[in-house]
Amino acid sequence: MTARAGAAIRIERLNKIYGDLKAVDDVSLDIAAGEFLTLLGSSGSGKTTTLMIVAGFALPDSGNVWIGDRPITQLPPERRGLGVVFQSYALFPHLDVKENIAFPLRMRRVQAAEIERKVARVLELVELGAFRDRRIGQLSGGQQQRVALARALVFEPPVLLMDEPLGALDRKLREQLQVEIKRIQRDLGVTVIYVTHDQEEALSMSDRIAIMAEGRILQTGTPDEVYEAPHSAYVADFLGESNFIRGQASETGLLARTDGDPRCMAAARATVAAGAEAVGIVRPEAIRLEADTRGLPNQITGEIELREFLGADLRLSVLTPVGALTVRTPRLGQHAGLLPGARVTLGWSAEDMALFPADKGGT
């Protein structure tokens, strides 16, 4: 199957208010042709409302949307030419697989021979050729989602909108379909706006992620950028796991609060002035243990309170003078034998610690 090249999308200063709730608050985005962009946020963040405005199922109170050079803000959904996939699948149970997929083509009055050709190609793309004559009720959840994806792609849209499409599936199937959706998107070159609350899903699938909260976009960047260099403590807390160490900013880092004298810790990244209340953030995987801490500027000793088995990794909760810190370490590494009650030394580099204002700690 060969789709048209994906189209660029421009979202300009969208606003949507429901009563006293500002569901979308001055949202602007430029999405490149062929890009996979994810709107990531918790429930009520505005991500789905933004997607529904692009799809045409909701009208903004102000702002505009372009697909390529074409303004679409006032067009009805059927005239926008966009593929849409929902979590609920929205399939027709009285039709078989091939007829569900063919439906958008029949609505566009495509000739029968062309419908047969396009349906056959998209069935091959989603690996459902052997299921073409089955009714929807005879399919698993994952197979039904593939049918929904095929139906959205069969008329070769330049843009595909996906709203929590894997939310109803179990973890293993979700991971399998994440790979398949990304493969299909790359093969076709279609532009994707993908909505999810699942951070791992966003990190694994996206070219860029736009993190939303309270109707606004807090940060946009590649998965590496938003994970490694969050712009706020909220983003660091929401995207991945973080340790929060509270204290007062200094010229070189953080004077962390303890039961005794403050502990001086080095931080290479700071968005808070010296002397202000601050929170230092360090990722669990950035913390080293025992001999691996040699030469690191930030070192502290504590006692393991909890040991969790995560398959490839161990998660350790360590009680320290600056509070409980979480550490992730390989299960088969040199620290595999560490158990609750053991005293350990933790350490991390200045580059792995960022400081933010304490009033934006996110927890």
Q: Are 178 and 169 in contact (CB under 8 A)?
A: no
Residues 191 and 323 in one domain: no
Residues 275 and 229 in one domain: no
Domain boundary among 196, 211, 233: 233
Residues 26 and 38 in one domain: yes
The Cβ-side half-sphere exposure at 354, using a 13 Å CA radius, reads: 19
Partner residues linked to 208 by β-bridges: 37
Q: Are 279 and 354 in contact (CB under 8 A)?
A: no
Domain of residue 136, residue span: 9-233
Q: Which tokens sit at 70?
A: 């074409």
Residues 183 and 296 in one domain: no
**Residues 128, 144: Cα–Cα separation, whole Å:** 10
Q: What is the pLDDT of residue 361?
A: 41
Residues 126 and 251 in one domain: no
Tens-digit pLDDT profile for residues 52-63: 999 999 999 999
Instruction: Specify the long-range contacts of residues 203-209, CB closer than 8 Å, at least 24 apart.
Output: 203/227, 203/239, 203/240, 204/178, 205/36, 205/38, 205/178, 205/181, 206/36, 206/37, 206/38, 207/35, 207/36, 207/37, 208/35, 208/36, 208/37, 208/38, 209/37, 209/38, 209/40, 209/239
Question: 155 lies in a domain?
Answer: yes
Q: What's the Rg (C-alpha) of the chain?
A: 24
Question: 83 lies in a domain?
Answer: yes
Domain boundary among 233, 258, 287: 233
Amino acid at 26: D
Q: What is the pLDDT of residue 260?
A: 82
Question: 2 lies in a domain?
Answer: no
Residues 228 and 238 in one domain: no
What's the pTM?
A: 0.89
Residues 137 and 255 in one domain: no
Q: What is the pLDDT of residue 4?
A: 55
Sheet holding 83-86, edge to edge: 83-86, 159-163, 191-196, 36-40, 208-213, 216-221
Residues 258 and 214 in one domain: no
Question: 1 lies in a domain?
Answer: no
- Indicate the number of domains in the chain: 2
Q: What is the pLDDT of residue 171?
A: 85
Residues 219 and 82 in one domain: yes
In CATH, what number is assigned to the domain containing residue 246? 2.40.50.100
Per-residue pLDDT of the chain (363 residues; tens, 9 = 90+): 444 579 999 999 999 999 999 999 999 999 999 999 999 999 999 999 999 999 999 999 999 999 999 999 999 999 999 999 987 878 899 999 999 999 999 989 999 999 999 999 999 988 899 999 999 999 988 899 889 999 999 998 999 999 998 887 888 888 888 998 998 899 899 999 999 999 999 999 999 999 999 999 999 999 999 999 999 999 999 998 999 999 999 999 999 999 888 899 999 988 899 999 999 999 999 999 999 999 999 999 999 999 999 988 999 999 999 999 999 999 888 888 899 999 999 999 999 999 999 874 444
In CATH, what number is assigned to the domain containing residue 21? 3.40.50.300
Residues 186 and 275 in one domain: no
Question: 252 lies in a domain?
Answer: yes
Residues 165 and 244 in one domain: no
Task: Please report which helix (H) or strand (E) contains residue 21, including its range.
Answer: strand 21-31
Tens-digit pLDDT profile for residues 330-363: 988 888 889 999 999 999 999 999 999 987 444 4
Domain boundary among 189, 214, 233: 233
Question: 318 lies in a domain?
Answer: yes
Q: What is the pLDDT of residue 37?
A: 98
Q: What is the pLDDT of residue 5?
A: 73
Q: What is the pLDDT of residue 254?
A: 95
Question: 3 lies in a domain?
Answer: no
Residues 91 and 228 in one domain: yes
